Amino acid sequence: MKVKALILLFFCFSTMQSQDFIPLWPAGKMPNSKGMKLEHIEERERITQVSQPGIYAFFTSKEENNGSAVLICPPGGYAKLTYTIAGFQFAKWLNTLGINAFVLIHRLPTSPDLVEREKGPIQDAQRAMKIIRSNATTWDINTSKIGVMGASAGGHLATTLGTHSEDYSLIKDGLDSFSFQPNFMILISPVITMGKYAHKGSLDNFLGNKPTEQLIEYFSNEKHISETTPPTFIVLAQNDPVVNPINSILFYQAMLEHNISGSLHVFPEGGHSIALKNNPKSINLWTTLCEEWLTDLSILDKSKAEITPNKNKFLKVNRF
């Protein structure tokens, strides 16, 4: 049994290591950095300090590729990145749907290297989306079918991409002209607000212990929904003891007020750590519901995955 366990562990580790890791920033051009050389700190598959931000690429097979892609923002309260269960596992699930997936390893706002703490994760997420768009032709991705997915604090980062237009990732290179805004969003037990119903850990880590009212208002993402906010799927449990479910209710209410298409699913049980399977009772239906929603949006429709050159400025390919 021990030999079999070791073989399985080796196989899982090899599979994880075989994923392509794509750095986000050219050497010496990472914005908002003091230039410190940080070590990678990780324990029990939770990263607490990032030495090099980047994305792990999970490409689906050529036969199953429907031309869509999703950037996954892992959870961790902006203090760590729990990248396996709510990162790599989600990516593998998306691959089975014919969706290319990219797991974001972003700088944490607690990093001693950051000049402005809250901008670090956003800059990395924006840059990651630009890298995906800039390689759309190479990776056979339709630039109208690129979404973002986030659980817990990763949901806050995801919705920041979907509700804010200010570009923090400009470094005067070829990717500056690409859009970072997603075409759709998938949110799981998301942190949304920095106000009354904020998740205190995410708030403190993201904005510091004494944030200004202006920062709280600016990063309470339910207050920044507009006509450019993309269609959004939200799943959560009513008995979530970590992130108040009102976070999602506020976001969905604002979507209704701005006539933004959405699909909200509140299950009675499930707690905060909603996984792909083995959840309590009916919440296990969420992946099926999400798949149906993606079908409704034509994200899974291969016939609409053809990329037409010269009709979309995001189809230009840049190397990184």
Q: What are the start-end ranges of the H helices in 164-243?
A: 200-207, 213-218
Does the pLDDT at position 215 exceed 70? yes
> Shortest CA distance to 88 belongs to which of 127, 66, 58, 50?
58
Average pLDDT (77-90) is 96
19-302 under CATH 3.40.50.1820, yes or no: yes
> Which helix (H) or strand (E) is 248 found in, with range?
helix 246-257
Average pLDDT (94-113) is 98
- How far from the centroid of its chain's Cα atoms is residue 247's Cα? 17
User: Tokens 């914005």 — which residue?
Assistant: 31
For position 303, what pLDDT does the model report? 65
Average pLDDT (191-209) is 97
- How far from the centroid of its chain's Cα atoms is residue 5's Cα? 32
> Do residues 240 and 272 touch, judged by C-beta distance below 8 A?
yes
Does the pLDDT at position 319 exceed 80? no
Name 100's bridge partners. 69
Does the pLDDT at position 312 exceed 70? no
What mean pLDDT, rounded, does the chain reach? 90
Residues 106-163 have pLDDT tens digits of 999 999 999 999 999 999 999 999 999 999 999 999 999 999 999 999 999 999 999 9
pTM here? 0.89
pLDDT band (50, 70, 90) for residue 280: confident
pLDDT band (50, 70, 90) for residue 258: very high
Average pLDDT (76-91) is 96
Does the pLDDT at position 222 exceed 90? yes
For position 19, what pLDDT does the model report? 79
Query: What is the rounded distance in angstroms from the CA atom of residue 220 to the CA atom of residue 118?
Result: 13
Average pLDDT (56-75) is 97
Does the pLDDT at position 51 exceed 50? yes
For position 273, what pLDDT does the model report? 87
Domain ranges, ordered by start, for the chain? 19-302
In this structure, what is the dihedral angle of CA atoms 301, 302, 307, 313, given to the nearest 10 degrees?
30
Query: What is the rounded distance in angstroms from the CA atom of residue 145 to the CA atom of residue 69?
Result: 6
Average pLDDT (3-7) is 37
Query: What is the rounded distance in angstroms from the CA atom of residue 130 to the CA atom of residue 65?
Result: 20
User: Tokens 């403190």 — which residue?
Assistant: 204
For position 316, what pLDDT does the model report? 29
Does the pLDDT at position 315 exceed 90? no
Average pLDDT (253-275) is 96
3-class secondary-structure state, position 80: coil
Name 43's bridge partners. 46
pLDDT band (50, 70, 90) for residue 275: very high
Q: Output the DSSP codes for the chain.
A: -HHHHHHHHHHHHHHHHHSEEEESS-TT--TTB----PPPEEETTEEEE-SS-EEEEEPPPTTT--SEEEEEE--STTT-B-TIIIIIHHHHHHHHTTEEEEEEE---TT-TTBSSTTHHHHHHHHHHHHHHHHTHHHHT--TTSEEEEEETHHHHHHHHHHH--------SSTTTTS----S-EEEES----SSTT--HHHHHHHH-SS--HHHHHHT-GGGG--TTPPPEEEEEETT-SSS-THHHHHHHHHHHHTT--EEEEEESS--S---SSS-SGGGGGHHHHHHHHHHHTTTT-GGG----TTS-GGG-----
Residue 295 phi/psi, 5-degree rounding, is: -65, -45
Query: What is the rounded distance in angstroms from the CA atom of residue 231 to the CA atom of residue 182?
Result: 9
